[in-house]
Structure 1
Amino acid sequence: MDPIDTLLTDAQARRDAGDWPAAAALFARAAEARPADAAIWQNLALARYAAGERRGATEAAARAVAIRPALWQARALLARVARDGGQPVEAGRQWQAVLAHDPASAPALMGLADLHLNVFGDAAQAAALAGRVAQDPDWASDAELTRLMAALYTGALAPAALSEGLRTFARTHLQRPAAPVRVLRSGRRRVGLISPLLSASPVYFLTFSTWAALAATHDLVIFQRGTRDDAATAQFRALAGEWHDVAHLPPEALTDRLVAAELDVVFDLSGWSDVGALSALSARPAARAFTWIGGQSATTGLDAFDGWIGDKWQSPATSRALYAEPLVEIDRGYCDYTPPAAIAALRDLPKQGVALVGNPVKVTDALRPLWPEDVREVTLIDRRYAYAATLERVRRVLEPIGVSIAAVVTPDGHDAYLAAVARHRAIVNTAPYAAGLTAVEAYHLGVRVIGPPSGGPLFAQRHVLSHARTRGRNPTLARQIAALIAQPA
């Protein structure tokens, strides 16, 4: 056998075994010997990416594309690296290049759908792209989830239909075999928290005070599903009795890690922001499980949870039919806001004008008939308006109802965002997906929340009904969560 073929066989064996550094070293030697072989460069790019060598992965994938422009796997990797590196426009360019060679490429269509829904904030376009691969058996589940998530923002599905769709999706695509039954221990309990949002996010601002209050009397076992590491992450890490970095674990392996942690209670702080975590939790790897803030837009569709943590405004008993989970009604509000230090200094800033804030994905055609009639001009505040396509789409939503854009602010960081909001007398509540943390922050900045009432039955439609009453604060919340944890089997 040719020595290079032998080298490639060894490299492939290392790749298949998940020994990425060794595979990368072997593929690099093969690429030196056969520099015109695009497949070798592509394999080298994959191995380097998996080994955490992003720059080397980009260089190898670029070599592969230069040799064979239609090699979609190499462009897919370039798109992934660009997205991870905060360059979504470049990621989109790579996916468009794939479509130029293959207009029906499912990976490219779904890659673009992901960018439109989760970065550029265009739910309708995401749903349209996903619809083009809905009949592809390899991609149908991804397409269906995109359709359902997009409908939260566009209102394309009635609440009952959306909830039933999520239940069907969960039963069909997420449910895993049950883990061994675990018995609750007596005394001090081990409490798991799992989320990709353990950073400056709603999970930190709306739940951290509870975990800080409980850390002295419970063993907090935290599973970090994200890769962002900021000051809020450091505070979560300081609370943890155990910390597990599990960002890239697939559902089966994640279930095993959760089972091995011997948890009494686990709190899902991921919701639909982490489908892999939901799948892992479907096996009931802890004695008891609750789902709470973090991607908490509508039912998980799973029967694995002992409770959905809400309150009488967010998830009233009258909406019970929309949930697979039993409803837990927290008295005096389901969250407790931890305000940043900057809030106090910003509250008394002079205020004028109205702002439209938060993720632009919430600004859809469904908002038009609900827009407050006396608001004819707004300032847009969100970092995503730096993307020209995002700004232009929102302009097209507002112009037909006679609303002009007075200014666009793309704040660099959370404190800058708060400072921009604090200079306005009001923000407009969005619909059908209502303002959540952004509303709580506005209230604490002395800024009114005006516009569409949050009267729909879905959780995501009702945020302001709770926050307007509680301002996101509940000094009794930690005690109530502790009581949930202490419940007998």
Structure 2
Amino acid sequence: MQDLQLLATIEPYAEGEGDAAILAGHARSLHRRFATAGARRHRSRETEGRTRMSILSPGLGRHPVGWLTLAGLERLPEEGFDLIVCSQRGFEDPLDRRFRALAAEWRDVPAGLTDHDLAEWLRARDLDLLLEMGGHGEGGRVSCLRHRPAPVAVKWVGAQSATTGVPGVAWMLTDARETPAGFEPHYTEQLLRLPDGYVCYTPPPYARPPSRPCRP
């Protein structure tokens, strides 16, 4: 399976080798292999008015994933969500500390932890929803979602150049520019398109104020 995961990571950047049909073919092959890996069903629970949501990512800090997701997560209503964060970075920075401030529970995931054991830890958190933000890219652990540690798993940002091909990832959060209409056959996930944009940029403190958009 590692060969297919590697192809899914690097082929989007290979000229003539990274079109949607080729990437979808790799993903379907991954899907078939993962589907035979003994996926275990989650157990359901009553939410009691709060949503328990896990974030799984190697980029929660000064990283493209951090810059493109923090603002959205900071605007979640505090009274409605408990955030269970699994980070694979292993070091802190100013953006990392802002993510930590949001977490009801934080875990730094050891590099050697197996997909099965990570999924079991997540399942024990009694989740309603899981956001995966790493894909098959460096440090990504999307493959653990074949064990279905949460009732609903959503792919968002982080190596989002193509479908994951992982059973158990039900949705991909996107928009009409990132994934235009008609691309659905190239995805094993259902595409959940936001109306304006699928990311929420947090500028660094030294950034200048945005200027007015240029008009044609």
Shorter chain as normaliser: what TM range? 0.7 to 0.9
1:289 aligns to 2:153 (yes or no): yes
1:32-51 to structure 2, matched below 5 A, reads none
Preserved CA contact (<8 Å) 1:174 1:278: no
Q: CA deviation at 1:175?
A: 6.3
Corresponding pairs, count: 210
Q: 2:202 maps to what in 1?
A: 338
Preserved CA contact (<8 Å) 1:163 1:323: yes
| 1:220-261 Cα deviation digits (max 9, x unpaired) | 010012223211111111110000111321111101111111
1:291-370 to structure 2, matched below 5 A, reads 291-344=155-208
From 220, 238, 261, give the equivalent of 2:83.
220
Preserved CA contact (<8 Å) 1:179 1:259: no
From 117, 127, 138, give the equivalent of 1:253.
117
User: Unmatched 5+ residue regions in structure 1?
Assistant: 1-140, 348-443, 449-489
Name the structure, 1 or 2, with higher relative contact order (CA <8 Å, separation 6+).
2
From 33, 36, 43, give the equivalent of 1:182.
43
Preserved CA contact (<8 Å) 1:200 1:232: yes
Q: 1:239 maps to what in 2?
A: 102
Pick closer, same or farther for the CA change 1:446–1:294 going to 2, 3 Å: farther
Pick closer, same or farther for the CA change 1:208–1:184 going to 2, 3 Å: farther
Pick closer, same or farther for the CA change 1:142–1:281 going to 2, 3 Å: closer
User: What SS class does the counterpart of residue 198 from structure 1 fall into?
Assistant: coil
**Residue identity (%):** 30
Q: 2:22 maps to what in 1?
A: 161
The residue identity in structure 2 corresponding to 1:195 is: S
Q: CA deviation at 1:278?
A: 1.4
User: What SS class does the counterpart of residue 117 from structure 2 fall into?
Assistant: helix
Compute the TM-score of the two structures, normalised by the length of structure 2: 0.87
1:195 aligns to 2:48 (yes or no): no
Preserved CA contact (<8 Å) 1:196 1:225: yes
Preserved CA contact (<8 Å) 1:195 1:274: no
Task: For 2:166 and 2:83, locate their aligned partners in 1 and report how far apart those are by CA, in whole Å.
Answer: 24
Preserved CA contact (<8 Å) 2:34 2:146: no
Q: Which runs of 4+ in 1 moved over 6 A?
A: 445-448
| 1:170-195 Cα deviation digits (max 9, x unpaired) | 43258642333332533111110000
Q: 1:151 maps to what in 2?
A: 11
| 1:188-213 Cα deviation digits (max 9, x unpaired) | 11110000111111221111111111
Q: 1:462 maps to what in 2?
A: none
The residue identity in structure 2 corresponding to 1:233 is: D
Preserved CA contact (<8 Å) 1:176 1:280: no
Task: For 1:174 and 1:237, locate their aligned partners in 2 and report how far apart those are by CA, in whole Å.
Answer: 34
The residue identity in structure 1 corresponding to 2:6 is: T
Q: 1:478 maps to what in 2?
A: none
The residue identity in structure 2 corresponding to 1:197 is: G
Pick closer, same or farther for the CA change 1:446–1:295 going to 2, 3 Å: farther
Q: CA deviation at 1:337?
A: 1.0
The residue identity in structure 2 corresponding to 1:237 is: R
| 1:4-28 Cα deviation digits (max 9, x unpaired) | xxxxxxxxxxxxxxxxxxxxxxxxx
The residue identity in structure 2 corresponding to 1:231 is: P
Task: For 1:263 and 1:289, locate their aligned partners in 2 and report how far apart those are by CA, in whole Å.
Answer: 10
Higher helix share: 1
User: What SS class does the counterpart of residue 317 from structure 1 fall into?
Assistant: coil
User: Unmatched 5+ residue regions in structure 2?
Assistant: none
Task: For 1:219 and 1:264, locate their aligned partners in 2 and report how far apart those are by CA, in whole Å.
Answer: 10
Compute the TM-score of the two structures, normalised by the length of structure 1: 0.40
Comparing 203-212 with 154-163, greater Cα deviation is found at 154-163
1:280 aligns to 2:144 (yes or no): yes
1:406-445 to structure 2, matched below 5 A, reads 444=210
From 230, 254, 271, give the equivalent of 2:93.
230
Superposition RMSD on alpha carbons, in Å? 2.4
Task: For 1:171 and 1:142, locate their aligned partners in 2 and report how far apart those are by CA, in whole Å.
Answer: 14
User: What SS class does the counterpart of residue 289 from structure 1 fall into?
Assistant: strand
User: What SS class does the counterpart of residue 205 from structure 1 fall into?
Assistant: helix
Larger Rg: 1
